[in-house]
Amino acid sequence: AGDFTLTGRSAAEVVVLGGGIAGLTTAYELGKAGYACTVLEARERTGGRNFTVRGGDTTVDLYGNRQTARFSEGQYMNAGPARIAQWMITLDYCRELGVPVEVFTNVNADAYLFNQSAGMTRPMRYRTAKADMFGYVSELLAKATDSGALDKALTTDDRDRLVEFLKDYGDLGDSLDYTGSSRRGYSVYPGAAGTPGVEYGDLPTASEIFATGVGRYFAFEFEFDQAMLMFQPVGGMDRIPHALTQAVGAHKIRTGCAVSGITDRAGGVTVAYTQGGRARTIDADYCVAAMPPNLLAKVPHNLGTGVQSALEAITPSSAGKIGLEYSSRWWETDHHIYGGITETDLDVTHIWHPSHGFHGERGVIIGYYNTGAAADSYAALSPAAREKRAVEAGVRIYGDAYRTELASSFSHHWRQFPYQEAAWHTTPDGPDAPRYKPLNEPTGHVYFAGDWLSHLDAWQHGAFASARKAVTALHQRVLNSR
């Protein structure tokens, strides 16, 4: 660690552009070290894409759609980030800032898979799909091994061990056939003596289960950033920017201030911005630009063509969500699904069950979390039409309760949202490609930070990591210059 403070030295002044996670973290960490920071934030709230929608919150998108959330007391949706892996710096900040966390259920054996284009008329439980896919794949591989098809690749011991593994993995009998398994689940659950339960019938053939395409969803939970356990702050993801804002000091954050110019000059930097329609400027020793790159690219500056072309190379992506508040938790009572995600090939793509408030009176389901063209097609609709289309999709999977129990909805699309215009970004060739050097190293007195300058874009972890890198570099320079 070492001494990170400027004890006994005059504090440098830093203007931070953007009050999202990267900007707030920059001000928080520099503040610890004694710097005088001012954060300019275009919106009336901090957090950027870390946005938790609660009853009464109002948004206006770039198409002019105005929505006010009607969620009831205690209900919310995380419109932006919503899950945190155990290894992410995000959790360390939660610990340090005293933000309590709870498990976020990213994968649930009892959630559904539904591929309409494959001809599925009913959803399949994850557990059933896994039992059948792993069962048949194990059968095929075990039989191929047993019949000598792999003799060139395997020793006799290898073959025995592989078959042993596959019998266990696929729940195969001694004949190496997959003939179904209790792993598939029950239509009548086992109970007291005399009630052995009824296993799901209609065992598909290998060919039939392959044709459903359900296997394509299994690898998601193998990913480094998506594997269970995952976490969320208790009470909404925005507990993080709230805590950061408090730690920075709200008086150091100027909201309603949209940046309109960045001028690097001898000995410092001048940032122009508008506040309530009035043009203002602020001078500082340094600047950390932690705004979205697609918007920074539109801000006039004198930082050179290398900065400008690097910013323009980074392209914005789309994503949207709709929160559906229900007046009962029918997915728990009727479907026995407590949290987790239903995966579909419909344009709603992912349907999220709430990972908190179990057995409560009400709950918010994320009726779509989609990206790219699917997100843009919903964004182009009115909020009422988005709800209608999302509910029609859900009814196909869950039945009529998906419509009849609905209390209200709120939809959010980041590509069409002012001061963001992106859910996340694509940085071609990765953030370490030479063309991004003018962003990764300071240009004059200006530093850049954001998840888009990290190897974990579209994660708060990337924003924290990038901000910490900028802070470390800036502080090193200040120490060396004194």
Residues that bind ligand PHE (CB under 6 A): 83, 225, 458-459
By C-beta, is 59 or 370 nearer to ligand PHE?
Answer: 370
Asked if 342 and 397 touch (Cβ cutoff 8 Å), the reply is: yes
Q: How far is the CB of 179 from ligand PHE (least distance, A)?
A: 36
* Residue 95, Cβ density class (10 Å: 0-12 exposed, 13-18 middle, ≥19 buried): exposed
Cβ atoms within 10 Å, residue 207: 8
Tell me the closest approach of the beta carbon of residue 342 to ligand PHE, in angstroms.
15
Q: How far is the CB of 107 from ligand PHE (least distance, A)?
A: 12
Q: Nearest to ligand PHE by Cβ — which residue?
A: 458
Q: Shortest distance, CB of residue 225 to ligand PHE, whole angstroms?
A: 6
Min dist CB 343 to ligand PHE, Å, is 13
- Cβ 80 to ligand PHE, closest distance in Å? 9
| Residue with Cβ nearer ligand PHE (237 or 269) | 237
Nearer to ligand PHE among residue 199 and residue 225 (C-beta): 225
Query: Least Å distance between CB 83 and ligand PHE?
Result: 6
- Kindly give, in sequence order, each residue whose CB lies less than 8 Å from that of residue 260, ignoring residues fewer than 6 positions away: 272, 273, 274, 279, 299, 300
Rounded to 5 degrees, what are φ and ψ at 232?
A: -145, 150
Cβ proximity to ligand PHE, 22 vs 406, nearer residue: 22
If the CB atoms of residues 82 and 295 are measured against ligand PHE, the closer one turns out to be 82
Rg (alpha carbons) of the chain, rounded to whole number: 26
Least CB distance to ligand PHE at residue 25 (A): 17
| Pick 50 or 245: Cβ nearer ligand PHE | 50
Minimum distance, C-beta of residue 424 to ligand PHE, in the bound complex (Å) = 6
Which lies closer to ligand PHE via its Cβ, residue 128 or residue 454? 454
Helices 383-398 and 372-379, axial angle in degrees (round to 10): 130
Task: State which residue, 88 or 390, has the beta carbon closest to ligand PHE.
Answer: 88
Q: Which is nearer to ligand PHE, 178 or 352 (CB)?
A: 352
CB 88, min distance to ligand PHE, A: 10
CB of 320 to ligand PHE, least distance (A): 12
Which CB, 43 or 83, lies closer to ligand PHE?
A: 83
Q: Which is nearer to ligand PHE, 35 or 424 (CB)?
A: 424
Neighbours of 10 (CB within 10 A): 9
